[in-house]
Amino acid sequence: MSREIKTLKTVAEMRAYGTERPLGLVPTLGYLHEGHLSLIRRAREECATVVVSVFVNPLQFGPGEDLARYPRDLERDRELAREAGADAVFIPETAELYPEGYTTEVRVRGIEDVLEGAARPGHFAGVATVLAKLLNIVGPDRIYMGQKDAQQSFLVGRMIQDLNFPTRLVVAPTVREPDGLAMSSRNVYMNEEERAAAAAIPRALSVARDTKSKAPEVLEQTVREEVAKEPLVQLEYVFAMDDATLGPVGPKTGEVLLSVAARVGKTRLIDNVVVGRE
């Protein structure tokens, strides 16, 4: 694809962008990889206009997290987004989205108490706030998000419903490296040895899924045992939950979301599989 990509930096520019509908938004923190590009390509197939936002949102990083060293390469992102079919990138400065005096926060209750919400206090308030702003600024008909961040995608679906955004959420499958590791901008933090060891995470998830059990204890214990075989990987949590509600698995549960967070050296990674989905 050889067409141009438009760079939009301000809210005013973004709002004035002459767009044909449907408009698809792919929100990202940048440092694009195949996971992001799969979302852009999907949006390209389904929408007349595709906007990719690249914004490392300080609100969703806690103290001591990797905000300062989060990988950034805007030029490369622009080029990759263009090749994947995006029409425009929206790349606001922090002060553009959070000018002096900014104080509003969006909270999606409940979500904050489990999984990444419990592990990273304040994270999902930051995510919900920036996504509510992006939905208002970009005004997309569809928003494309990844199964990789299942809880984040769930939160956006909830917020869209609760706040009546006229946007449809599309959740696309996790894109993986050949050894199964879920693609992530954070994978570059790992050295060679850590990177090889990290494959234990998706391996453990798939061994658990292959038990064909939907019992949380069985799934969680299988992941614990499998991850324990790789000394370089420290499991932070593993939880099996009802995929439809993110509540406990019960008699009415259809699909089970099995989620893990783990550390490989200093790098924190998350991943999940849905058990019971074809």
Enzyme catalytic residues: 36
Closer residue to ligand AMP, CB minimum distance, 57 or 253: 57
Q: Which residues in the 22-51 window bind ligand AMP by CB under 6 A?
A: 28-29, 35-36, 38-39
Q: Which backbone phi and psi does 261 adopt, to 5 degrees? A: -125, 140
Burial of 217 (0-12, 13-18, 19+ CB in 10 A): exposed
Interaction with ligand AMP in 161-180: which residues (CB under 6 A)? Answer: 172, 174-175
Instruction: Identify which of 226, 176, 179, 60 has the alpha carbon closest to the alpha carbon of residue 129.
Output: 60
Q: By C-beta, is 14 or 56 nearer to ligand AMP? A: 56
CA end-to-end span of the chain, whole Å? 33
**Contact between residue 8 and residue 17 where contact means Cβ atoms under 8 Å apart:** yes
Residue 149 touches ligand AMP, criterion: CB under 6 A:
yes
Quick one: which H or E segment has residue 25?
Answer: strand 23-28
Residues 89-148 that bind ligand AMP (CB under 6 A): 145-146, 148
Q: Please, are residues 271 and 201 in contact by the beta-carbon 8 Å criterion?
A: yes
Nearer to ligand AMP among residue 158 and residue 214 (C-beta):
158
At its nearest, how many Å lie between ligand AMP and the CB of residue 225? 25
Tallying the residues shown for the chain, one arrives at: 278
- Closer CB to ligand AMP, residue 175 or residue 249? 175
Smallest gap, in angstroms, from Cβ of residue 221 to ligand AMP? Answer: 26
Number of residues that bind ligand AMP (CB under 6 A): 17
**What does the CA dihedral 157, 160, 162, 165 come to, rounded to 10 degrees?**
-170
Q: How far is the CB of 205 from ligand AMP (least distance, A)?
A: 13
* Shortest spacing between CB 99 and ligand AMP, in angstroms: 23
57 binds ligand AMP (CB under 6 A): no
- H/E stretch holding 87 reads none
Q: Element (H or E) spanning 51, and its range? A: strand 49-54
Residues lying near ligand AMP in the complex (CB under 6 A) are found at 28-29, 35-36, 38-39, 145-146, 148-149, 172, 174-175, 182-185
